[in-house]
Chains A and B, each alone.
Chain A
Amino acid sequence: MGRSMTEPALCLNHLSVAYRSGGRDRAVLRDISLKIAPGEAYGLVGESGCGKSTVALTVVRYLPRNGKVTGGSVALDGADVMRLGPEALRDLRAKKVSMVYQDPGRALNPSLKVGRQLVEVFEAVGVPPAEREPRALETLKKVRITDPGSVMQRYPHQLSGGMQQRVLIAMALASDPAMLILDEPTTGLDATVQADVLDLITDLRRELGASILFISHNLAVVAQMCDRVGVLYAGMLVEEGRTREILASPRHPYTVALLRCLPRGAQQKDVGRLDTIPGFLPTPGALMSGCPFAERCALADDRCRTEVPELRESGDRLVRCHYPERAADVPRSTPADVAVPKPAGVGAPVLRASNLSKTYGQGGGAIRVVADVSLSLLPGETLGLVGESGSGKTTLARMLLGLVPPDPGGLIELDGKALAASLDRRRDEEVKAMQIIFQNPDSALNRSHTVGHIIGRALRRLGGLRGADLDSRLDTLVAAVRLAPRYLALRPRQLSGGLKQRVAIARSFAGDPRVVVCDEPTSALDVSVQAAILNLLAELQAARAVSYIFISHDLGVVRYLSDRIAVLYLGRIIEIGPSERLFEGPNHPYTEALLSAVPNIEGAQNARIRLSGEIPSAANPPRGCVFQNRCPRKLGAICETSDPPLAEAEPGHLISCHIYEQQFLGAAEIQGQRRRTHDRKAEGV
C-alpha cells in the first residue's frame, strides 16, 4: 500500500448518468458522490433498477451507446476517467481496475481453454511471453485452486460455477489492480460455494491491499465483506456510513424499510409478518420534485414532496432525508401481528411419498437424481426443501406433481389414495389438488396471453366455472393476491416481477388446491417484493389451510415459512425435522456447513465450517454415505462402507448420519446384547 493515503482510490464527484431511450434522456444516476480509500471495501446496495451496475460501468467507461455522463466526474487513482484518451483508457482498464461480474459462465469464452484465456490477460498487461504461463499458474494458486496445471488445460464448462468465479477473480488480479469492482460476484452461486468465494475475497484483500467496490443486492453479504456501505435508491445515494452502524441503526426510511423486509432469525409466519414497502421504485428518468422515496414513505410530508433533500451529515454517517432522526420510528406498512392462528399439523397426511427415485439414462451412464426419498405432508403444513443445485429438489417436486414419472417402486399418495405416476393418468380431482408456483414467472406465464386470460382459463379448467360465476370468482381471487383489476387486461411483459409472481400465485390457487409446490418463488425478486410475496403465501395458507412444499436455497426464507424442513444432498434426504429444531441442532454435518455458510446481516462471523471439494456428480456418488468425501466429522471406515439410514435423533427429527445412528442405537444395542447373553444363558441351561 505505497499509495498516498490522501488520494482516494476511487472518487465519484456529483456523478449523473442518463440513458437515452424513446427520444429522451432518462436519468439513472443522480448526483452521486462517494470516495473509496486505498485498501477499503465499499459496498453499494440497492434493489434492481436503482443504478448499481451503472455505477460500475461508468467507472470504467463501459456505458452502453445510449448512456452518457450528464454531470460530475469520476477519478480513479487520481486520473479523471472521463478525460482519458483511448490509449490511456486502455491502459487504465488493463492495469488499474478489474471487474468481476455476476455470471461467471458467460464471462469466460466457452471455446478457449482456461489457460489460454488467463495468458491473454497477462499479454494485455504487458508481461513478456516467457513469463505469462508461470504467472498464470501462480495467480490460480493465489485464488486457492488446487492443481492449477490441470485447470489451465480445461474448458470453462468443465469447471463448476465456483471454480469459474475463482478463475475470473484470478484474471481480475492478473494486473495487480488498485481497484477491484465486484458486481454481484456470488449471486447465483450456492450457499457453500458463495461462502468459499467470499472467504477467498476476504483473504485476497488482506494480501493485496486493493480497494474494492462491492455491488450487491444482498445486505448480509455486504455486511460481511465491506467496511462502508452506500444505499442506492432510484439512482441516488440515500445513506452512507460504516456498514455495521448503518445495518444496526439505519437513519433513512428506505434503509429502515429494506432491513425490515428481510426474514431474520426466529421470525416465522405464525409469529409475525414481514414488513413490506408499499408502491414501486420510480421509473428511470422520472422527474423528481422532492425526495425520491417520498411516495412510499410513511413519514413523508409536504416538504418531502417538494424539496429534494441534500445528502447531509447526521452523526456518524451521510443521510439524504429531511428527518433522519425520525427514521427509526417509521411505522410499519404491514402489521406484524398475525390475525389467524396457524392451523398446521392436524389430521392425517394430505400427501405422502415413499421411496421415490428418479434415474435418468441407462446402464453405466445412469444418473440417479433422486434416491429413495420418503416424506409426508400434513394439511396446512409447510415442508421446506433445502439443498444446493443438483440436489434434486426440483425433480422431486416435479415427480410429486406428475410432470416427471418416478422410477418404478415409488409411491405417491394423496389423502391415502395412491396416485398414478404420470399426470395423464391422474384423475381431474387429483390434478386439481396439487399445483405449483414456478421460480421464474417470465417463463411460467404465457407471454401471449393477458393476465385475465391466464387466471380465467385456470378458473375455468380447475374451478370448472363459467360465465358470471367465473367473473365473480376472478375478482375475488385477484383481490386475494392483491392485484389491481386494471392489470387483467395487461400481458405479463408489462408487469413487474412481483406482480407477475402474484399472477402465478392466483393461477395456482384457482382450483382450491390441497398442496401447492413453491419452487423458489422469490429467488428472482427483490427483497421488498419477496417480503410481500412471502406474506401473501402465509396469508393464503392461513385462510385456506393449503399445504406447501417450499423449495428454496435461501435458508432465511425457508425458515420464515416452513413448519418442517428437509435437507437434500445428492438426491437424498439427509436430515428432516421441525424448522426450529433444524436451526438449533444437532444437525447432519452437511446441514451444519450449510447453516454456517449463510452470511448474516449482523455481520457476526459464524463459526465457519468449510467443506472441502465440490459436490460430487450424481452419476458417480461416493460409496457409503454420500457426504463422506467432504464430511468434516467423518468417523472412519464405517462412513465409506455403509450408507447411514435416516435415524431419529430426537422426536420427529431424523438425521442420516452414523454419528447420530450410533448415539441413537446405543441404547438399543445394549439391550440387544443383554438379550443375546440371556439367550446364551438359556442355551447353557
Chain B
Amino acid sequence: MKGATIVLSARRQDVLASLFRSSPFLIGLIIVAFWVICALFGSHIVPYDPYAEDILNALTPPSIEHWFGSDQLGRDIFSRVIVGSRDILTVAPLATILAICVGTVLGLLTGYFRGIVDDLISRLIEAKMAIPSIIIALLAITALGTSKMTVVIIIGLSFGTVVARTVRSAVLSERDLEYVAAAKLRRESAVHIMFIEILPNILSPILVESTVRLGYAIFAVATLSFIGFGLQPPSPDWGLAISTNYAMVSGGYWWTVLFDALAIASLVIGVNLIADGLHGALDD
C-alpha cells in the first residue's frame, strides 16, 4: 500500500497542524496515552501485585495503603485497575484492525461493483445487523469457547459490517469521478482501481471510522467480560471486575466497582475525543 503512505505524508503537515490546535484531540490523546503506558509498564509501577490475595484485608475501603480499596479477596484495586488496561488494550485494537480490514474489502467490493455483488453482500450485511450482536456473540462463544482470540474475531467480524457500510458510501462518491473512468480507459484491473486508485482517497473516512469503532470495541470487550463470555478470571480486566463485584454495591462496597467503571468510561471518552479531533482535522 505504497500510495497510502505517500498521501499521508503529503497531507501530514496540514493535518498535524490542525490536530494539535484541537483541544478535544489533545485531551483524548493524553487520556489514551496514559492507559497505553499503564498497559505497557503498569505491572512495574503498581504498588501491589494485582493477583496477590490478602484475605485478612478483604474489602477495605480506599485508604493510604490501598488508594482504591481492596476487593473481596483482598487484592489491591488500584493495582488491578492499572494493570487491567492491558487485556482490553490488546483485544479491542486487534478487533478494530480486523474490522477495518474486513470492512474495507467488503466496502470496496460492494461500492465499486454495485449490481449483483452489492445486492448480495449488502443484504447479507443487513441480515446480520438485524440480529442483535449480543446473540451472535453468545452463539459464537458457546461454539468456539472463550479465548481472547474468539473475542477479537467476534467483535472484528461484527464491526466489519458496520465499517463496510461507511467504506461503501465513500467509494460510491469516488467511483464516478473521472479518474476512475481514466483508469478504465487504461484497462486497469478492478483490483488495481479499487486498491491503488480509490483506496488512498478514502483513507480519511476509514481512519475516522476506525477510531470510532475502537471506542465501541472497548465497550464491547467490557460488555462481553461483564456477562462472562469475554476475559476469564483471574484477569484484572475492568469488565470482569465489575461483573464479579457489582452485587456488592448494595452492601456499600462501592469502591469495588466504581474505579473500574471510571476506567472504562475514561478510555472510551478518550478514544472518542481523538475520533472527534481527527474528524475535524481530516474533514477539510
Contact = CB atoms under 8 A, between A and B. Distances in A.
Interface of A: 401, 403, 423, 428, 431, 434-436, 438, 440, 443-450, 457-458, 461-462, 491, 507
Given A401-B185, A423-B185, A448 B177 contact: no
Given A403-B181, A440-B178, A491-B10, A446 B186 contact: no
B185 A444 contact: no
- 5 closest A-B pairs by beta carbon, nearest first, are A448-B200, A444-B178, A461-B186, A448-B7, A438-B178
Contacts of B7: 447-448
B182 A438 contact: yes
Given A443-B178, A491-B10, A448 B188 contact: no
Contact of B187 (A403, A431, A446, A448): A431
A401 to B, nearest CB: 7
A391 to B, nearest CB: 20
B6 interface: yes
A503 to B, nearest CB: 11
A440 B184 CA distance: 17
Given A448-B7, A449-B3, A403 B184 contact: yes
B201 interface: yes
A423 B188 contact: no
A329 B183 CA distance: 47
Contacts of A435: 185
B3 A431 contact: no
A444 B10 CA distance: 19
Contacts of A446: 179, 183, 197, 200-201
Nearest to A427: B187
Contact of A461 (B178, B187, B201): B187
A431 B4 CA distance: 29
B262 to A, nearest CB: 40
B187 A444 contact: no
Given A461-B188, A491-B10, A448 B182 contact: no
Contacts of A403: 181, 184-185
Contacts of B186: 431, 457-458, 461-462
Given A401-B185, A403-B184, A461-B186, A448 B178 contact: no
A491 B12 CA distance: 14
A446 B3 CA distance: 11
A457 B197 CA distance: 11
A507 B182 contact: yes
Nearest to A460: B186
Nearest to B176: A443
Contacts of A449: 3, 200
Given A445-B179, A491-B10, A436 B187 contact: no
Nearest to A453: B3
Interface string B182-209: 1111111000000001001100000000
Contacts of A458: 186
A401 B178 CA distance: 13
A448 B3 contact: yes
A255 B200 CA distance: 43
A458 B186 CA distance: 7
Contacts of B181: 403, 436, 438
B177 A428 contact: no
B256 to A, nearest CB: 52
A445 B178 CA distance: 8
30 contacts: A403-B184, A403-B185, A423-B184, A423-B185, A431-B186, A431-B187, A435-B185, A436-B181, A436-B182, A436-B185, A438-B182, A440-B178, A443-B177, A443-B179, A444-B179, A445-B179, A446-B179, A446-B183, A446-B197, A446-B200, A447-B179, A448-B3, A448-B6, A448-B7, A448-B200, A449-B3, A450-B6, A457-B186, A458-B186, A462-B186
A538 B181 CA distance: 25
Most buried by A among B178, B187, B188: B178
B246 to A, nearest CB: 48
Contacts of B200: 446, 448-449
A448 B181 CA distance: 16
Contacts of B183: 446
A586 B149 CA distance: 80
Nearest to B2: A453
A444 B6 contact: no
Contacts of B187: 428, 431, 461
Interface in B146-199: 177-179, 181-188, 197
Given A448-B6, A461-B187, 8 more contacts: A401-B185, A403-B185, A435-B185, A436-B182, A446-B179, A447-B7, A448-B200, A491-B10
Contacts of B178: 438, 440, 443-444
Interface in B1-24: 3-4, 6-7, 10
Nearest to A447: B201
A466 to B, nearest CB: 15
Contacts of A434: 185
A449 B6 CA distance: 8
A448 B201 contact: yes
A507 B177 CA distance: 16
Contacts of A443: 177-179
A627 to B, nearest CB: 31
B220 to A, nearest CB: 33
Contacts of B184: 403, 423
A451 to B, nearest CB: 13
A418 B185 CA distance: 18
Most buried by B among A438, A446, A462: A446
B201 A444 contact: no
A443 B177 CA distance: 6
Contacts of B3: 448-449
